[in-house]
């Protein structure tokens, strides 16, 4: 197995816990983990797909033991919560480069390939990805370590976040009725905009035609959620000191964005 393929498997496995709380049933009972190494016949979902999103963005913010929920339009926006008597304003506008919303990690038109001759349940698709446009440098020791947004003192980006295209990895389970795709697992933070991305996943229930006993077993449609998780203590706020600059407030928390979707094969 190539290094790239091994990393893809690792990323997908690491993202499985992010499905907790999604509208779907999650992956625990769907067998996607076992399907990664399955050599049995798989339902065919290769080709082009049209994706339609619901007109809302479900937001869950966790700060310490407190959980706050909010529903916005699909492009996000600003809102304020009251945490321990302190108002905190979040600017989750999807047009901002460091805010990657679910509809951005899985576009309205996608194409899957499913051509592994040994492991037919593996699928790949092209998706946008947030990456560092600059060099990765050692962080300031005062900004990393336990109880910070960079507990392992990983290198940080000294430039801006940019959106590129990469190939995402996923699996169709043995019964052909569930898809799991790891969409984004990059970490990029310039220490100011606070863009540590925990990961993104697409979790869908699938409808098929035919069966494993026929030659025309194929996936025709699916419904589920695209979930984007920003973790590690990076939370966005507006402009609390009114100096014209968006600022990051470092807290022990996370932001989870989810949008439901339906998809049909072309």
* C-alpha distances in Å from residue 206, one per residue of 81, 157, 180, 221, 228: 37, 38, 10, 6, 21
Q: Tell me which residue range forms the domain holding 12.
A: 3-265
18 by DSSP, 3-state: which? Answer: helix
pLDDT digits (tens, 9 = 90+) for 202-260: 889 999 999 999 889 999 999 999 887 775 445 555 555 556 554 445 455 678 888 89
- pLDDT of the residue at 206: 97
Q: Which two tokens stand for residue 38?
A: 């399955």
- pLDDT of the residue at 3: 39
Q: Which residues of the chain are modeled with pLDDT < 50?
A: 1-29, 185-197, 232-233, 246-248, 250
Domain total in the chain: 1
71: closest CA among 83, 60, 82, 84?
60
Question: Distance between CA atoms of 13 and 7, rounded to whole angstroms?
Answer: 10
- pLDDT of the residue at 43: 96
- pLDDT of the residue at 199: 64
- pLDDT of the residue at 119: 94
- pLDDT of the residue at 192: 36
Question: Distance between CA atoms of 140 and 119, rounded to whole angstroms?
Answer: 44
Do the bridges between strand 109-113 and strand 122-133 make them parallel or antiparallel, or are there none, so unpaired? antiparallel
């Amino acid at each position: 197995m190539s290094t790239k393929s091994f990393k893809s498997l690792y990323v997908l496995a690491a993202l499985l816990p992010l499905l907790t709380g999604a509208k779907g049933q999650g992956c625990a009972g769907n067998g996607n983990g076992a399907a990664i190494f399955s050599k049995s016949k798989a339902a065919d979902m290769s080709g082009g797909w049209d994706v339609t999103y619901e007109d809302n963005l479900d937001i869950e913010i966790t700060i310490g033991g407190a959980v706050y929920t909010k529903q916005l339009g699909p492009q996000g926006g600003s809102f304020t919560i009251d945490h321990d008597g302190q108002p905190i304003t979040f600017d989750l506008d999807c047009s901002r480069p460091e805010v990657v919303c679910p509809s951005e990690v899985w576009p309205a038109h996608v194409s899957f390939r499913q051509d592994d001759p040994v492991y037919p349940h593996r699928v790949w698709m092209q998706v946008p990805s947030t990456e560092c446009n600059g060099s990765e440098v050692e962080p300031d020791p005062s900004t990393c370590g336990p109880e910070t947004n960079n507990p392992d003192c990983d290198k940080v980006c000294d430039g801006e976040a940019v959106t590129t295209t990469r190939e995402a990895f996923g699996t169709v389970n043995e019964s052909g009725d569930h898809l799991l795709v790891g969409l984004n697992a990059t970490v990029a933070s310039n220490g100011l905009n606070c863009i540590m991305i925990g990961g993104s996943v697409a979790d869908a229930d699938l409808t098929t035609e035919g069966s494993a006993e026929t030659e025309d077993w194929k996936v025709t449609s699916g419904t589920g959620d695209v979930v984007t998780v920003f973790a590690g203590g990076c939370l966005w706020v507006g402009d609390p000191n009114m100096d014209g600059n968006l600022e990051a407030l470092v807290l022990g928390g996370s932001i989870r964005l989810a949008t439901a979707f339906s998809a049909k094969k072309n």
